[in-house]
Structures are given as C-alpha cells and as structure tokens.
Amino acid sequence: MNECIFCKIASGEIPTNYVYSDENVVAFNDLNPQAPVHVLVIPRQHYASSAAVDDPSVWSSLLDSAVKVARSLGLEEKGYRMVINTGEQGGQSVPHLHLHLLAGRNLGWPPG
C-alpha cells in the first residue's frame, strides 16, 4: 500500500491539483483523459478495488462527491457517465478504488 500511487496523490505526497477534496475523498484529472472531462474520484482510504469495500459509507461519500464534482463542472444538462472498473476483466489498471467521471462528448455504449 505504501507504493500505491493513488494513496500518494490522496495524502499529498504527490502534489496534485484536486478538482474536489474533503475528509473522505479527493478528485483529480485523469493523466490520460478519454473524454473532454475525465475526473477520477477516489477514497482517501485504500481499497484495492470495489470488491474490497466493506463499509457502505465509502459508496455514499464516493458517489456523493462524484455528483458534486459533476454539478460544479456544470455537467447535469448534457450528462455524464460514472464508471468503476474492477479487476482484470473489468479493465482496472490501478489497484486503488476509483470512480471515473466522464463527460463532454457522446459516450458509446456498450463499452469495449
């Protein structure tokens, strides 16, 4: 966990411009954006994936924060997508729970 890059972002060890932060969550722009808006929302506490979450309050803070970020960016009218990749087949590459907030273009469905 000491080597977890998202833990370092959440703790401030890696300086990052947060789009949003509170006591439970930080949000920041994705390094490799897949849409004009691509924000990652992560819990400060380390969970390797959605499958590791054992406390329902993690979901309320993560989702509530994501909606707050969407509102602050004015995304409600045109819409947005929230995605949580989990595990190998889910396409997860960073083993710290994170929610992708994507917007700013028409997003295809189904995902690849």
Chain contacts with ligand AMP (rule: CB under 6 A)? 5, 30-32, 40, 85, 91-94
CB of 50 to ligand AMP, least distance (A): 10
Residue 68 tokens, joined: 């707050």
Given 38, 46, 96, 98, which residue is catalytic? 98
| Strand blocks (E) in the chain | 18-21, 25-29, 37-43, 81-83, 99-103
* Closest CB to ligand AMP among residues 67, 82: 82
* Closest CB to ligand AMP among residues 77, 89: 89
CB of 88 to ligand AMP, least distance (A): 11
Give the C-alpha distances (Å, rounded to integers) separating 50 from 29, 63, 103, 105: 20, 13, 22, 26
Q: Which amino acid is at 36?
A: P
100 in catalytic set = no
Q: Which residues are catalytic?
A: 98
